[in-house]
Amino acid sequence: MSTIVFRSPSRYIQGKGALKSIGVYIKELGQKPLLISDEIVWGITGDTITNSLATENLEYQYVPFHGEASMNEVNRIAEIGKAHSADIVIGIGGGKTLDTAKATADTLDVKVVIVPSAASTDAPTSALSVIYTDEGVFEAYKFYNKNPDLVLVDTAVVAKAPARLFASGIADAMATWVEARATIDSNSSAMAGGKVSIAAKAIAEACEQTLLQYGIPAYKAVQKGMVTRHVEAVVEANTLLSGIGFESGGLAAAHAIHNGFTVLDGDIHHLTHGEKVAYGTLVQLVLELHPHEEILKYINFYRELGLPTTLKDLHLENASYEDLVKIGAASTKEGETMGNLSPEITADDVANAIITVDQLSK
């Protein structure tokens, strides 16, 4: 029999104003927190966090994040953490900040708390980081022996982030069931290191259902900076359901193609993680031979959220066929998650599917 593996954070807290109580939760985990955040996010959250930590008499050290989840950045911050004798790392911000916080905590062998500033990716809950070069090219997945000790999501903060980031989170989360289903169908292993459990399958499916039901009204509320029940539901889907769903359910073509996109130069680098994953999800649906109506359902949903569904939207309208084959080659290389869909998919298959999505969207 195959072994199933299910992973999740130790604790997940979500709600409006949750950040005001961060000190109470941190005190249960450590005494000398190292805080990692970029200056923009720190400008929004810093006062609330430091007031809460000061109330609990916690000695904290703040380190500005320089923008790239690279090993050079991780090592730089870890040195500061050592000097502070940090016993817990808190990452506050977007996916790259959070991935850097996890890698720093792993380097220092201390606990980690994750505070997303936007519901823009499913990075917060997982026991892995996506590591890039200093120039922003995908390098590797870095795996850890445990998930975050706490994930704290303040929906008031998340709803004030740009609506484009919220839509990106929906796009990243919409890949969850599509990729988990492929992993199950091919009897492959998930990122968690084993076969997909009944629990992970149910969570991944619930993730997509939640997004299709509530995604559009939630997006419209976030455009006005409001927190509604639709927003709370979609934040949970983007963060918790998608996080557990991808890690314990598996990745396949959508994320492999996202990684493939990073090998090209140019304006595609200005797109978010989720925006590239959205197109990758459509490419996976084409590779899987889904009916036309099914693919159009996703295309129309993405369009309502302002997500890319054409090569022009990706700034790749002038890309050569050779460029698209380069994306295909990177997404089908040894060790990529494309194998969870099928190990027989070639670079040409991917290039042709990328063009097909563009044609269907037009």
Catalytically active residues are: 172, 255, 258, 273
DSSP 114-125: EEESSS--S-TT
Residue 113 token pair: 């708390």
Rg over alpha carbons for the chain, rounded to the nearest Å, is 20
CA-closest candidate to residue 5, choices 193, 214, 167: 193
Vertex 270 angle, CA 19 and 301, to 5°:
75
Is the distance from CB of 241 to CB of 210 less than 8 angstroms?
yes
In this structure, the chain runs to a length of: 362
CA-closest candidate to residue 362, choices 314, 311, 319: 311
DSSP 44-93: HHHHHHHHHHHHTT---EEEE--S---HHHHHHHHHHHHHTT-SEEEEEE
CA-closest candidate to residue 61, choices 39, 80, 42, 40: 80
Residue 327: alpha-carbon gap to chain centroid: 20
Bridge partner residues of 64 (DSSP) = 37
DSSP 277-344: HHHHHHHHHHHTT--HHHHHHHHHHHHHTT---STTTTT-TT--HHHHHHHHHHHTSTTSGGGGT-TT
CA-closest candidate to residue 305, choices 174, 118, 209: 174
